[in-house]
Structure 1
Amino acid sequence: MMQRALFSRGALLAQQTSAALEGPLGAKSAPVLLRLDRSMSSVTIPPPACMLRPLEVPLRYLFGPGPSNVPPRILAAGSRPIIGHLHPEMYEIMNDIKKGIQYAFQTENNMTIAMSGSGHAAMECAVFNTVEPGESVLIAINGIWGERVAEIAERMGANVHRMVKTPGRYFTNTEIEQAIKKHKPVLLFLAHGESSAGLCHPVDGIGDICRKHDCLFLVDTVASLGAAPIFMDKQNIDILYSGSQKALNAPPGTAPISFNDRACHKMFNRKTKPVSYLFDMTHLSNYWGCDGKPARVYHHTGPVSGFFALRESLAILAERGLEESWEKHKEVAAYLYRGLEDLGLKLFVPERDLRLPSVTTIAIPEGYDWREMLTYIMKHHCIEMTGGLGPSIGMVMRIGLMGYNCEKTNADMALHALADALKNCKKSKA
């Protein structure tokens, strides 16, 4: 009966439409036909020729600051069949990711999730949720990431104060405490792994200073997580975030982040809503099952395949163990340092203990055009290395050996390519 009723309604609609198109003698109206012809005419933009060719992606050795090459096991995880982002099985995978991040961060924080987006998504999430317009924030800038956070904070209306050092330099705890006393910020930002300069910044004691002065401590570990020791709980870090595409060696597009109880209290007792709906932790905490509510409500469609890959990368880290991962990166970095010095190249960060194990910076060799060298290496060796970024442009060349790429054989490849470029690229007489 239902089908017959639907058919009758459809037939009636067709008859009414046909009658509307007919003139007094039953013929179709010319203006109406013209309008129909226009609406049903062929598309005017043809299919682009490039879309009719198969996808081609070259094989490259990604020895820059990230992304790094992804191992087959993680690529395979990302190619698993899609399931719904709100399916129970997806929630279980997200729960696994949360536990994996807690291990990688060395934290017991319940408010631990992975952002749908790159490390910048976590960076903005941290600032947007814990800072309100007009509040004072203090940003330690010794490379590009401090510059980025300062701009993000200014865009959302914070009163931004900058501590600035040249790339490769670090801030003493005394300098940090003096600046906190002066500016009375609600938040201090510091990059643990400043990849633009190759610096791994000391963190011990800074969290204690922040607690003493009722200031939240926000730390960026995008370039350092899995490559250098970090202990969120022991080091009293209030907010910690990272990215998937470096030492975790998953594809770009997901970003672990964690908030402790101090950060949550500030975040969930604000007077104004965060400027971003997508990054609002009121909603994200529910999506990730962190708010204690029995049901998870739709907020956005998470990157399902990206979460598969992130879960697998965290599983590999758990199987290997953090200590072994840290030691491996330290060992391969030391091997690379010796090779670079044998080539007559100068390490940009003189203090060995302050060098970022995942991204090594070398001073641009005197008389050489660094762009020409990098182009030569890519053309003749299919190896990506990069120059500086932000304030370190023109100061350094960067070599990244992290995660899956953290092997001495890859260091040898990088050294061979550099030696070849030094031999064949033009050197000025100056």
Structure 2
Amino acid sequence: MLRTPKLVMIPGPTPVVRSIQDQMGRETVAFGDPFFVQDYKEVLADLKELWKCSGEVFVIAGSGTLAMEMAIANITKRGDHVLICSNGFFGDRFIEMCQRKRLNVDVLSAPWGTSVTADDVEKKLVEKKYDVVTVTHVETATGVVAPIEAIGKVVKAHGALYVVDGVAATAGAAQYVDPMGIDVLLSCSQKAFGVAPGLAILWASREAVEKRKSLNPIPESYIDFEKWLPVMHDPSKYWGTPAINLIWALKESLQIIKEEGIVERYARHLRQAAFADGALEAIGFTVAAEKLFRAPTLSVYLYPQDANVDDLQFRKILAEEGAQTAGCLGEYAGKGFRMGHMGNIDKHTLVSAVASVERAAMRCGMNVEPGTGLSVLQQGLVDEH
């Protein structure tokens, strides 16, 4: 029996297209190589332009978690008051990070499947003065997208610094640093950028950079803005070794984004997420996120309550049928699976993934008419033209 290749349909890492893989496979050069230095400069310039940031951008070796810590470390000092807006598991990760920094933390949580809103944040900021407010743009555990632009207006009106965790959103859900009042936007390479893991990416407003200067010194070293700014201004300088091949890969990713157009890229993610959700609903699954808060980059699909589906068995069979998905977390653990639909995946990948889910559902005893989900997806893909 032929082995079925698995589509990587988890919330990240996401599939890496051939042109990006080719950049990762290039012969590595010295980080001071003038051609690489120029490439690094172009990556930084593109990130600032595409995300409309008049401040600074940082691209360093690390993970999204490192970028989270970098955000907090550079704009807070012991005793500052931080409001963490959490829509689930990954929003809560800010709590321990802030507590380790001896910050005073309050948490504003939304029920799973919904999001904290601008009105919710307004009420908290009227009650108390906060130095920093954090929001997770797309919550990977729930498939929820937060209204970051509306929240940003409220945060700015109250004079706090605004941190947006864009790990599962950046390059797939609309984000603009200056227009949305974002002071720190953090992300990484392996989600909607479609690059392999290994790069931490962070944008900082002028206000955030000035805040860092006022805190001198900070306890952290590797993630200090002040250590990296000379390198970001002149990549021939050294603080930590850059991930050379990944920076080339990110350069190719940005070229793909520019060719598609970032506005169209955001619109495509919204369309294709709706098609995928509609297809899975037609099969009998429930989208965990309420319709108003559904993310364009990933979804949480819950099994039909009357189907008696064994989660581990379903995802094992789904992998055999060709689609690798992720288990659910927290309140949804064992009740469904998480599927990414972000980055550079195309219509062929979406069709194959939905077909794999259909086959797995039938093998697990769900009452599914073959082609039910596929017909919804295919019609959507045709209608978008």
TM-score w.r.t. the length of structure 1 is: 0.79
Q: Gaps spanning 5+ residues in structure 1: where? A: 1-57
- The reply on whether 1:264 has 2:203 as its aligned counterpart is no
Q: Structure 1 pair 154/60, CA: closer, same or farther in 2 (3 Å)?
A: same
Q: Gaps spanning 5+ residues in structure 2: where? A: 367-385
Q: How many Å separate the matches in 2 of 1:268 and 1:310?
A: 29
Q: For the Cα contact (< 8 Å) 1:197–1:396, is it kept in 2? A: no
Q: For the Cα contact (< 8 Å) 1:335–1:411, is it kept in 2? A: no
1:341-352 superposed matches below 5 A: 341-351=281-291
Quick one: percent identity of the two aligned structures?
A: 25
Q: For the Cα contact (< 8 Å) 1:138–1:160, is it kept in 2? A: yes
Q: How many Å separate the matches in 2 of 1:421 and 1:319?
A: 36
Q: Structure 1 pair 206/305, CA: closer, same or farther in 2 (3 Å)?
A: same
Deviation at 1:145, TM superposition (A): 1.9
Deviation at 1:67, TM superposition (A): 0.7
Q: For the Cα contact (< 8 Å) 2:117–2:146, is it kept in 1? A: no
**286, 301, 313: which one aligns with 1:362:** 301
- The reply on whether 1:303 has 2:249 as its aligned counterpart is no
Deviation at 1:320, TM superposition (A): 1.2
- The reply on whether 1:92 has 2:54 as its aligned counterpart is no
**218, 223, 229: which one aligns with 1:274:** 218
Based on CA coordinates, which of the two structures has the bigger radius of gyration?
1
Q: How many Å separate the matches in 2 of 1:396 and 1:124?
A: 30
Q: For the Cα contact (< 8 Å) 2:6–2:323, is it kept in 1? A: yes
- The reply on whether 1:377 has 2:318 as its aligned counterpart is yes
Deviation at 1:79, TM superposition (A): 1.4
CA displacement 1:379-405 (0-9 Å, x = unmatched): x22321112234543344111121222
RMSD after superposition: 2.0
Q: Which residue of 1 aligns with 2:342?
A: 402
Q: How many Å separate the matches in 2 of 1:115 and 1:178?
A: 37
Q: For the Cα contact (< 8 Å) 1:388–1:396, is it kept in 2? A: yes
Q: Which residue of 2 aligns with 1:33?
A: none
Q: Which secondary structure does the structure 1 equivalent of 2:286 belong to?
A: coil
Q: For the Cα contact (< 8 Å) 1:67–1:252, is it kept in 2? A: yes
Q: How many Å separate the matches in 1 of 2:167 and 2:51?
A: 12
Q: How many Å separate the matches in 2 of 1:120 and 1:134?
A: 22
TM-score w.r.t. the length of structure 2 is: 0.88
CA displacement 1:124-174 (0-9 Å, x = unmatched): 100111111221111011112211111111112211111112222112212
CA displacement 1:66-102 (0-9 Å, x = unmatched): 1111011001111122122233333212211112212
2:113 corresponds to which letter in structure 1? G
1:316 corresponds to which letter in structure 2? I
Q: Which residue of 2 aligns with 1:241?
A: 186
Q: How many Å separate the matches in 1 of 2:156 and 2:268?
A: 33
Q: Which secondary structure does the structure 2 equivalent of 1:146 belong to?
A: coil
Q: For the Cα contact (< 8 Å) 1:195–1:356, is it kept in 2? A: no
Q: For the Cα contact (< 8 Å) 2:118–2:147, is it kept in 1? A: no
Instruction: Kindly tell me the number of residue pairs found equivalent between the two proteins.
Output: 361
Q: Structure 1 pair 409/297, CA: closer, same or farther in 2 (3 Å)?
A: closer
Q: Which residue of 2 aligns with 1:411?
A: 350
- The reply on whether 1:388 has 2:328 as its aligned counterpart is yes
